Amino acid sequence: MDDYALSFWIYMGVMSVFIGSTLKKFLASHVSAVPSLVAWLGATLLVERLCAMCMPAVLALVAFCATCWLYSLLAAPSPVLPVEGKAVLITGCDSGFGLATAQRLDAMGFQVFATVLDADGEGAKLLRNICSPRLTLLQVDITQPQQVQQALINTKAKLGMKGLWALVNNAGVCVNFGDAELSLMSNYRGCMEVNFFGTVCITKTFLPLLRQNKGRIVTISSPSGEQPFPCLASYGASKAALNLFINTIRHELEPWGVKVSTIFPSAFKTGQSSNTEYWEKKYQHLLQNLSPSLLEEYGEDYVMETKDLFQKHAKTAKEDLSPVVNTIVKALLSPQPQVRYYSGPGVGLMYFIYSYFPLSISDKFLQKLFLKKKVIPRALRKQNELNHIKDNNNDIISNNNNVTSKME
């Protein structure tokens, strides 16, 4: 009995490691590693059947797992392309991912063209102070075609006969605040102007230089462009439009040898997200511009809770931007870059649930993950109160009728 129990626990332990490794591989790479995932699952089932038929197969399974583990330790790292002679244009380098990426690529030896909104801002000053003379700052508002064209002229003058190796589409804004009905039309237009039209403009403008070098386009998108995050309608819609554009040109540019990748980060502290004053201004601006009837139906406390939840979510976001910067570097230097990258804690699990679970479960997961709202709109509260009073009255009438019937 003891021998059987020992064999059973060895079997369970090894199978747990094996299946856990399979799930970890799947969550880390999602769609990009489907063939290898199928192979892992097939091997798991095969070994499981062998173990079920005869316990000595457990020893074979242990040996197999040990071999796989040793191979993963000793296997050569994935090859990367050389950095020398490669030029990269990065948009939105005033702060966040753009600023961090510009610093990293410059330190690696890339010739970096970093676009900023404010050439005298803190981000621009930092890049001037710590980066090499190879880095070129370009003051560009990507929503202004004239400025984008001037950036192309300046970039060509610096590159000479060289083409551009890569464009990193990082510039973006999230001016969304509140439910879709409460979001101002200026929010929708603001997000579309920067996240979609601006990115389309700069991508189209620099494509001739990228085609010349058979280069890369790397775009920072957002899971909210594919999943229905509460209170992110305008931002998510702009990213959804961007995703479709990028996927379309990915097919169209394949004959030219230009490789296109999209990165979907989890929550990180970027831009004004951790600025309390920023959220307060957004809140006051929304209150001043909402129609009185709409504000009456939702209630000021409902809007205030949304603001507080956005602030709370921003505080829990990761400060270390290196996971996204590392992913950008992979997309730039991998001989065969992935079409999609998922960067940051939890994003792989989120996509797994969204892709393979019923909508009822994935929707609840997103609501719990992002904004856990407790306050309901004022009009619904009043309706619930009326229904409650009505139900109580019905109960009283029903009880009176029962008493009358008994007396009769």
φ, ψ of residue 195 to 5 degrees: the values are: -70, -30
DSSP assignment letter at 33: G
pLDDT at residue 286, rounded to an integer: 87
3-state secondary structure of 217: strand
342 is catalytic: no
pLDDT in tens, 295-320: 999 999 988 888 888 888 777 778 88
Q: Assess whether pLDDT exceeds 90 at residue 163.
A: no
123 neighbors 99 (Cβ within 8 angstroms): yes
Given a cut of 60, whether residue 37 has pLDDT beyond it is no
Q: pLDDT tens across 267-280, in order?
A: 887 766 667 787 78
Distances, alpha carbon 272 to alpha carbons 188, 235, 306, 338, 387, in Å: 18, 15, 17, 30, 43
The predicted structure's pLDDT at residue 141: 97
Q: What percent of the chain lies above the pLDDT cut of 90? A: 48
Q: What is the pLDDT of residues 73-84, one digit of tens each?
A: 555 567 889 999
Question: What are the residues whose beta carbons fall under 8 Å from the beta carbon of 377, sequence distance 6 or more?
Answer: 297, 298, 299, 302
Tell me the pLDDT tens digit for each residue of 89-137.
Answer: 999 999 999 999 999 999 999 999 999 999 999 999 999 999 999 999 9
For tokens 């439910």, what's the residue? 179
Residue 262 β-bridge partners: 219, 340
Q: Rounded mean pLDDT of 218-230?
A: 91
Q: Does the structure show a pLDDT above 60 at 4? A: no
All domains in the chain, ordered by first residue: 2-74 (no CATH), 87-369 (3.40.50.720)
Residue 27, pLDDT above cutoff 80: no
Average predicted confidence (pLDDT) for the chain: 82
Each residue's pLDDT tens digit, 348-389: 877 888 888 888 888 777 777 777 788 889 888 888 777 766
Question: How far is residue 191 CA from its own chain's centroid?
Answer: 16
Confidence of residue 31 (pLDDT cuts 50, 70, 90): very low
Q: Does an H or E element contain 91, and which?
A: none
Chain-centroid distance of CA 82 in Å reads: 28
Give the pLDDT band of residue 87 (cuts 50, 70, 90): very high
The predicted pLDDT at position 32 comes to 44
Instruction: List the catalytic residue out of 4, 11, 188, 235.
Output: 235
Q: In whole angstroms, how far apart are CA 362 and each of 15, 194, 226, 277, 358?
A: 28, 29, 12, 33, 6
